[in-house]
Amino acid sequence: MSLPAGWVEKTSRESGKTYFLNTMTNASQWDRPEEPAQDGVRASHLLVKHRDSRRPSSWREEDITRTKEEALEILKVHRARIDSGEVKFADLAATESDCSSAKRGGDLGPFARGQMQKPFEEATYRLRVGQLSEPVITDSGVHIILRTG
């Protein structure tokens, strides 16, 4: 069966397993693609705002007073809980993210270059599908990003 347009089949040097590369974005994934490649990514995120965020309020807190350092510490605890398997990313984002995307488990939907703040965009494009970022700092606050497409 041939691959949809824009995808190539590769073999991992580390594991010897087959993976698939989107030739438009250089994103890779283990699962065989069913749709043609698109020039863009899809991601979910968990945002923790702080008092110096461009809008220091959210659906969770009207007046956010924590420091950026406190926000980073909160995010590190969230990341550890996800990494340990204690909680799923989407479930934690739904209750702890300061972004309105929380109601969708942090899902931001698909986006292309130039649509997000530069640090967020760069971090997302560097991730492989299914990979979770380290903390990313933007004008909105601090994020962990899960690339989903």
45 catalytically annotated: yes
**Tokens 């965009």 correspond to what residue?**
121
Closest listed residue to residue 49, CA positions, set 97, 101, 120, 13: 97
One of 29, 38, 117, 131 is an active-site residue; which one?
117
38 catalytically annotated: no
C-alpha dist (Å) from residue 15 to 10, 28, 30, 143: 12, 14, 12, 30
One of 45, 58, 97, 101 is an active-site residue; which one?
45
Residues 72 and 142: beta-carbon distance below 8 Å? yes
One of 53, 58, 97, 140 is an active-site residue; which one?
140
Which residues contact residue 55 at a Cβ distance below 8 angstroms, ignoring those fewer than 6 apart? 49, 140
One of 53, 99, 101, 133 is an active-site residue; which one?
99
One of 53, 58, 78, 143 is an active-site residue; which one?
143
Output phi, psi for 7, to 5 deg.
Answer: -120, 145
44 catalytically annotated: no
28 catalytically annotated: no
Residues with a catalytic annotation lie at 45, 99, 117, 140, 143
